[in-house]
Amino acid sequence: MSVSTTRRFTLLGAPFDGAATLGWPGSRYAPARIRAAMGWILQRREDGRIYCLDHGTTHPFPEDLLTDGGDVATVAHDLTATLAAAADAVRAALAGGRVPVLLGGDDSLLFPAARGLAESGPGSVAVVHLDAHLDLLDRNEQQGTHSHSSGMRRASELPNVDVSRSLQLASRHFNFPSSLAYREERGLRNIPAAEIHRRGVDPVVDDVLAHVAGADRVLLAFDIDCVDPAHAPGAGAHEPGGLTSYQALHLVQRLAPHVDAMVLTEVNPLTDLHDQTANLAAYLVAHFVVHGASTVES
């Protein structure tokens, strides 16, 4: 017998880019711009429902489906304190029975999102990491150990994170040979953007869901630079050959019912064009909420 479960979501901002040691800073301004773009979407609610043209379906959208929990206690000069506050906020949302959606900020915030989810209860956590880069850097002199290049590395070291059930999507171009060695050592699967283009989104999502099926909880970590800069110019780095906006939205729609927390990072209003990227980020969140509100458990 299948049981339908209805979920509620909490939006959290983390206006911090102090760990953006490469590329362009400016993602500290993203939560405010994404929230502003959300207003354009949410005004389509009517009598507690919203109509999704993609699938020709209406969905429940009561007032408490998505609430804004405000910004985490960001400390501009203190990376450690900010990461701890972000983990605390994710953990608190989960303790309140809500699905946290953490808006960065730079991609160092992947780590506290994973930590908050991993520490929210017993069992294992799988991370589905969409990113142009691997973010598996251990440390170097310029970036230290917890920069935006190390979020997935630090997350993979958490006791409850099951690296063998985690995977990375939409990576491309070049990276450190040491990151390849770490991936192979830990059994971390990678599906590059080129493979997604060749195979299509649906077969890849089917693979992802089968891969994470053994984990107790799943984190969706979405760095906006997994999307091609033609579709998302407001990013911390530009890597051609990424996902289209349609592919990104479709991925999120398919994954949403299976995900227990989301962190969305690296939207950069300082490099954006007419809020194009902030708007895409807002739609990613909206689809995550609408399509992830109802889950079916066997």
pLDDT digits (tens, 9 = 90+) for 49-105: 999 999 999 999 999 999 999 999 999 999 999 999 999 999 999 999 999 999 999
Q: Is residue 32 part of a domain?
A: no
Q: Is residue 153 part of a domain?
A: yes
The residues that bridge with 5 in the sheet, in sequence order, are 295
Q: Is residue 72 part of a domain?
A: yes
Reported confidence tier of residue 141, pLDDT bands at 50, 70, 90? confident
Measured distance CA(281)–CA(232) in Å, rounded = 9
According to the model, what pLDDT value does residue 231 have? 98
Q: Is residue 64 part of a domain?
A: yes
Q: For the segment 239-291, what is each residue's pLDDT rounded down to a tens digit?
A: 999 999 999 999 999 999 999 999 999 999 999 999 999 999 999 999 999 99
Q: Is residue 3 part of a domain?
A: no
Q: How many domains does the chain have?
A: 1
Q: Is residue 102 part of a domain?
A: yes
| Assigned token pair, 105 | 């900020």
Q: Is residue 56 part of a domain?
A: yes
Residue 247 is part of which domain span?
42-297
According to the model, what pLDDT value does residue 298 have? 47
Residue 63 burial class via C-beta count within 10 angstroms: exposed 0-12, middle 13-18, buried 19 and up: exposed
The helix/strand/coil state of 260 is coil
Q: Is residue 133 part of a domain?
A: yes
Statement: residue 185 has pLDDT above 80: yes
- Cα 167 to the chain's mean position, in Å? 13
Tell me phi and psi for residue 149, to 5 degrees.
-95, 0
Measured distance CA(228)–CA(289) in Å, rounded = 23
According to the model, what pLDDT value does residue 3 have? 47
CATH no. for residue 51? 3.40.800.10
Residue percentage of the chain with pLDDT more than 90: 89
The residue-averaged pLDDT of 150-162 equals 97
| Assigned token pair, 141 | 């002199």
